[in-house]
Amino acid sequence: MNNTFYFLRHGEPKQDEFTPISRWMLSEKGKQQAEELAKSGIFDSVDIVISSNEEKSYQTAKPIAVKYDKEIMRIEELNELDRGASGFLEKDEYDRTVEFALNNLTKSRHRWETAEHALKRFTEAIESIDSEHEGKKILIVTHGCVMNLYFAKLLSKLDVIYERWIKTSFCSWAIIKNGKVVKDIVE
């Protein structure tokens, strides 16, 4: 890895049982979180802003991109585990399904994408982004499950992914420099 990557989990979404989860927008609190991050100075030095294709990630990236006059590149392979086949799940069932997915990487519940497949897709996207740039500071705005899968892989902690996910709040961020985690998302 020859770039510095900043990873950012999107802000709090507005839940809507009539809209597929991949199309949820930010709640008012999520919008405020994104604005506060843009003002914080944490991402002052980023050269490139990339978001998953999901709207809540894009909306989180937008205030940062506007502040620094950057375009937002949207990449579908950075999306969360594909969970569209299940339809809306109440919070308890959603949390149980996430727990199942992150503890059983090769299995699916409610016809979700397997965590193993999501990790492979996500990792390949990061590797592709890394190979296309040299010495850049790149902000990746994405999702809790795929971020935790990726960081657990890098830290050799694949046995505690769900525990890490529980500790990852909205707008948690992390840094990877020279292929090493220098700030973890669960700190």
In the prediction, which pLDDT does 21 show? 85
How big is the chain by its Cα radius of gyration, in Å?
Answer: 15
pLDDT averages per 10-residue partition of the chain, 187 residues: 95 91 94 96 95 97 96 98 84 92 95 96 98 97 97 96 96 95 92
What's the whole-model pTM score? Answer: 0.95
Note the CATH architecture for domain 4-183: 3-Layer(aba) Sandwich (3.40)
Q: Which among 173, 185, 148, 175 is positioned nearest to 3, based on CA atoms?
A: 175
Cα 56 versus chain centre, distance: 10
Using DSSP bridges, classify how beta strands 137-142 and 48-52 pair: parallel, antiparallel or unpaired: parallel
161: helix, strand or coil: helix
- Name beta bridge partners: 30: none
User: Which residue ranges make up each domain of the chain?
Assistant: 4-183
Using DSSP bridges, classify how beta strands 72-75 and 48-52 pair: parallel, antiparallel or unpaired: parallel
Tokens matching residue 1: 């890895």
In the prediction, which pLDDT does 19 show? 87
CB-based contact 183:24 (threshold 8 Å): no
DSSP type of residue 80: -
